[in-house]
Amino acid sequence: MIDLTQNRRAFLGLAGTALLTACAPRTPSDVFSQTSPEGTTESFTPVEGYGTIVDNGYTLPAVPPQYLQWPNRRQVVYYEGSAVPGDIEIDPYAKFLYYVMDNGTAWRYPIAVGRAGLSLKSTTVIRRKKEWPGWQPTRNMLRTQPDVYGPFAGGVPGGLASPLGARALYLYRGGKDSYYRIHGTNDLGSIGNSGSAGCIRLFNHDIIDLYDRVSVPTTVKIRSQEESLRIVGPEFSPRGVELPPKIVSPESIYGATDIALDQ
C-alpha cells in the first residue's frame, strides 16, 4: 500500500519536491492576492510548481494553497500497480492518475472524476492530444441539464474559459474515439472529488506537466475498486465527495481573464 511508513512518506515527499523543482515551469516567487467569494482579499505564496504560468499567450494564475493540501498535488511515489513504464493508470476511486516511470516510481497527479469518467472501465489509448482545446457539451448534457449547459450549446473556443482547460488527451478504443478525455479544469475545488459531469480532470498546471511527458500512443489503464482498496487502502479509497455540475467563469478564478499577452 502507498505510504506504509513515516519514512516512506518522507521519501515520497522529498522526491516529489525535488522533481517538482526540476521539472516545473519557472514561476514568480512573489506573494499573490486572491479575492474570496465573500469579497475579502487574501495573500499567499505560491506552492512550488503551481505558480503563475504564461502559456501560448495565456496567463494561468497561481493555484491557492488551500486546493493543494496533501495529497492534492503532484509528486513522485512508489508505483504498485500493473501498468508498464510509459503508460498511465487512473484510480477513479482514490482520485489519482499515475504516469509510470521505469524505476519503480510514478508521477502521481490528483484528479477529479466526472460521472462519465466513472463509467470508464476498460483500457483505452491516447491517440491525440491538443493544447488549449475548445469544448462543446454533449447532447446528453444538454438534454439532462439544460440550465447548466444550454448557454454553451454552441461551444466554447479554446482559451482560459474552456472547460477542457489548458490541455486535453483524447482516449480511443479499438481505433475509434471513445469521447473520454483527460483534461485540465478551471474548477479548482473539484480536484480530489467526483462531479456529475466531465471525464478525468487535473489542475491546469498538472495537465501541462503530464501533457509534456505523454507520447502518442499511450495506453491508459483503469484501476478497479478492488485494486484501489488493496493498493492505497481505506485512507484514500474512496476519496472525496460528489459535487454538483458547474461551469466556472475564468473571471472568478482570482482575477483570471481570457487575455492573450501578444494581442
Cα dihedral sign, 104-107-113-119: negative
- Residues with active-site annotation: 183, 199
Topology of the domain covering 64-250: L,D-transpeptidase catalytic domain-like (2.40.440)
Share of the chain above pLDDT 90, in %: 55
Residue 155, CB-side half-sphere exposure with 13 Å CA sphere = 7
Cα dist from 148 to 145, 151, 198, whole Å = 6, 7, 13
Kindly write down the DSSP assignment for every residue of 234-245, as one continuous string.
TTTSS-S-EE--
pLDDT value for 41: 61
Mean of the pLDDT values across residues 9-35?
42
Mean of the pLDDT values across residues 153-160?
89
The answer to whether residues 208 and 53 touch, using CB atoms and an 8 Å cutoff, is: yes
Q: pTM for this structure?
A: 0.80
Distance CA 18, CA 41 (A): 31
Predicted confidence (pLDDT) per residue in 55-77, tens digit: 999 999 999 999 999 999 999 99
Mean of the pLDDT values across residues 106-132?
87
Domain ranges in the chain are 64-250
Confidence of residue 195 (pLDDT cuts 50, 70, 90): confident
Q: Mean of the per-residue pLDDT values for the chain?
A: 80
Label residues 156-181 b or e (16+ Cβ within 10 Å = b): bebbbbbbbbbbbbbbbbeeeebebb
Confidence of residue 35 (pLDDT cuts 50, 70, 90): low
